Structure 1
Amino acid sequence: MKKIISSLAIFSLVIATSCSTPDGIDSDLSALDSTNPGNFDKIFDVSTDNSGLVKITPIADGVTKSVIAVGHGTGDPVTVYPGEFTTHVYPEGDYVVAITSYDIAGNSVVNEFPLDVVYRAPENITASTTNFAGTILNLTASADYANGMQVTWGDGGSGEVPTVMTGSLGGDFTAPGHNYAPGVYTLTVTALSGGAATTTATFPITVFAPFGLPITYESPIQNYGVGGTFGGVGTAKVANPFPGGINTSNTVWRYTKPTGAESWSGTWTPLSAPNGVPINMDNGMKIKVMVYATEVGKLLNVELEQASTGIPNQVLKVAPTVANQWQELTFDFGASGIPAGTSFAQLVFRYNDSAGGTGEVIYLDNITQSN
């Protein structure tokens, strides 16, 4: 009997001993006051593309979480845990980022860090222009790191207000069509960083006048190359190689029919609106052309096409009668039966259309219309 009691006593003692709470695993957290978090710092990763994006990564020893007040805007502070970060988009400027660090005991420390966000000046401005409806210019531009763009068209005087272009960072910017008077201008594109830095570039702009008679080959705002050639001939505006006699002008039109060019080769010039002025035959039935040829007898064609009244194309051929000097040839359409009110939307020149090219070169100038 005594043996059994003794065993029970021992068992009871073991139970009592097992239920005791070991040191350090109870509700007393006073020992955590000695965790000593420290080495507070931050990492600011500021983007360089003018987006204003900043990555904020708190770093410290012994911290369980950080609460970041970004110092800009009205949003709530952001809580991050060790190894995490937050981002914020800043305008250019100086800011103070406040980071509240918490240790395992719930104690907190606030540290403030200055942040300087500076946008870089845009680079590599490019611009492309297209014309439509005559003298209206469309502009598209781009630049590296551009947060915005403006254009000064160059025709508004010293007080011209820049036009704001539409677009976004990393893409193209466009401006509404601008209506110029024919002339030569300097267009200025200003690329904006989104901050204080800007970059400008200038581009020469020639706005051509509508093409029509008379054709002098002297105007800086006339596109004498409008239209084109066919059959292998070539054309170019050149300095007058033979000034004298009836033609002392500075520039003329060179027409080349090289060996191998087709007999039917020639040039065509559109004269229809908005880029041209049709030839209205009510203003005169005669087309006059100054010609310099190195030989006589080969016919020059003046052809009027695309009649407003639906009549067939009109063709007249006249040969130079003198060589190596300027001569004015007259192409009289008065006997062609052209109805009153007829205008033609295209002018064509052909030379010696009875044979292929043999390397002929002639010069044309001062194309006029008269009665």
Structure 2
Amino acid sequence: MKKLHLIISLFVLAMLIACSNDDSNGIDLEGISAPANVSALVTVTQDNTGKVTFLPKGEGATQYKINFGHGGAVSTAIAPGETISHVYPEGVYKAKIIAMGLNGKTTEAEQDVVVSFKAPENLVVTITNDVAVSKKVTVKATADFALFYDVYFGEAGKPDPVSANIGDEVSYTYQEAGVYTIRVVAKSAAIQTTEFSQEFTAILILNPTSAAPTPPNRSAGNVISIYGSKYTNVAGTNFFPDWGQAGQGSSWGEFDLNGDKMLNYINLSYQGIALADGTSIDVSGMDYLHMDVWTADLQKIETSLISLTNGEKPVTKDLTANEWTSIDIPISAFTSQGLTVADIFQLKLVGTPWAGGSVFVDNIYFYKTPAQVIELPLDFESSTLTYAWSGFGSDSFGAIPAAVVANPDKTGANVSNNVVKIEKLAGAQVWAGASLNLETPIDYAKGTIVKVNVWSPKVGADILYKMELSTSPKDGNGNPTVFIEVHAASTVANAWEVLTFDLTTAPGFSTSNKYDRVILFPDFGQMGTGATYYFDDIKQSN
């Protein structure tokens, strides 16, 4: 059977290589990466024979060979999922797992093989609960003279062990939280094994361990935010009016996850949010209600908008346990039930099962899809868009002035009406500049070269063009860690010129990153002198 698998694999490989000579088929074998994460589970029989069995593993591998590290012996090719054995005398060996991909590229990984006819000694077992996944337990065992170990996790109906190389971790997710007897059996080539057992509690994680997804950039006129840190929230909102639910065992709080705050409704029967000091807000111009919800134990959440004039209407959504569920409810789902949404003064949340679980809620806001959005290309001529440039880097680390103004020099390369003015104040930091959030991320179909019309008061000013992925993890200064930077120098003074920034030359550039923030740094690397710079027509080209 092994030979048959190998013949089939080699036949498929030969066919694909042959086809690769025909440009019409579009197969790019050279573009396929070499196998990754190559390793092997190595076990040995407990009979003093030294018979060791290898189960190779890897991503993108079509076949494996094992250099046993013993007398130059190398295995024949084996298919994924198959095993191969070799008999060793007592000793310590360095085996090599060789994984081959579809295009012949190989990846090698070394594996220690300890063959001892002594029973394992000094067995040390560490058992931990996963910090992010409920009921997931990880075991790690080390021992002298051992090659591998078996773990019996003690769940009813699951009698088979899970095996791992000694020193490696093995994980298991229980169906239910609770106390289980975990038994670890360390094995060498000896007949005698060494065991360890411990009662361990698999816990149910009752709160999120990661923040909710970061909302996209939106203009202020396109969003009405109730709760969250991305947008400006409606003032005077009461998130815990209770409505008599304490008698149902329900309660509330604001959960702080490493500085990221979110609402927490506990044993949710129903709880509400009272808007704007008991007045109302008009959401008739919005298209959706959004919120992010995390739960360990609720199946559904019912959300009602409550009108001052004609009551409330509900919409129910399913929840996925132990992860964030992003919910977008069309406003039409409420208005189609006859609800007036011009005077919404409360929101109501109901859990299923009733008072049977808790939820964490973040990013509650209404939003609409605008007819125009802030995106590349940018010419600043729209009468409906608000270009909210944000300056930074003054001498006191505050903001430097940055705004859309009338073009002060409608000559030469730029006769448009509106431009961006950035003042690099005297004493401003060398990295002073201004940023603009895009509502639609960069579209690489429009090109990977960005051209910017620049008016500089001097020749040789370093203009740094930067793009960030605003939702990427933050560094120690609170700045996104996924970004690109490209430099260009001004060649004329007091006149417009078009500077070119090739994004592909930036370290870390990838078309998989959908950058959604533009940042301009005038005269980068130099302290501010009070000079003024103008920018316009930020657009892509090929």
**TM-score scaled by length of structure 1:** 0.44
Q: Greater CA radius of gyration, 1 or 2?
A: 1
- The answer to which structure, 1 or 2, has the higher relative contact order (CA under 8 A, 6+ apart) is 1
